[in-house]
Amino acid sequence: MEIYLNFIAEQWLLFSALIIILALLVRSILAPRLCGGEEINVNEAVRLIDGENTVILDVRLDREYVTGHLAESINIPVGALPARIGELEKYKKHNVLVMCQSGGRSMTGGGVLRKHGFENVFNLSGGINAWTNAHMPITTKRAEKKKKKEK
């Protein structure tokens, strides 16, 4: 044991770097699952959307959303999500794909959903940027207005 303590004392900088790297590695693995849901890529998102009971939640600002979004997506900006969570209550048992521009805000939005009891939360890694870079379709039409007219 004394040998290890001497090594740590002599190589404290190297040992500190090891601890930091291990902490970052654990954080990168556990944080998405604990905070904002499972992070998935574009191909996995397509499979999820093609399956049943998937809701797409776009947490970008309205001005970003109107420039292009996934068809049938619901737009609630991440800052307004806690106050508007009731609008999503009926989707609690569904898969919820959360997306934003690049993946950061959607992680926060996924955390809000999980805090309110949503269990099947998925974060689109890279957001709409990754979606469009993969040449996937987007629309500028508002799905919510169409749904309201159908009711």
Total domains in the fold of the chain: 2
Nearest one of 133, 28, 47 to 97, comparing CA atoms: 47
Quote the tokens at residue 126.
């890279």
Amino acid of residue 132: T
Kindly report the pTM of this predicted structure.
0.74
- Answer yes or no: is 96 within a domain: yes
C-alpha 55/C-alpha 121 separation (Å) is 10
Residues 66-98 pLDDT 10s: 999 999 999 999 999 999 999 999 999 999 999
Query: In terms of domains, do 81 and 124 share one?
Result: yes
Residues 17 and 65 in one domain: no
Asked if residue 97 and residue 133 are part of one domain, the reply reads: yes
Band of pLDDT at residue 148, cut at 50, 70 and 90 = very low
Task: Report yes or no: 90 and 6 within 8 Å, Cβ to Cβ.
Answer: no
Do strands 74-75 and 95-99 pair parallel, antiparallel, or not at all (unpaired)?
unpaired
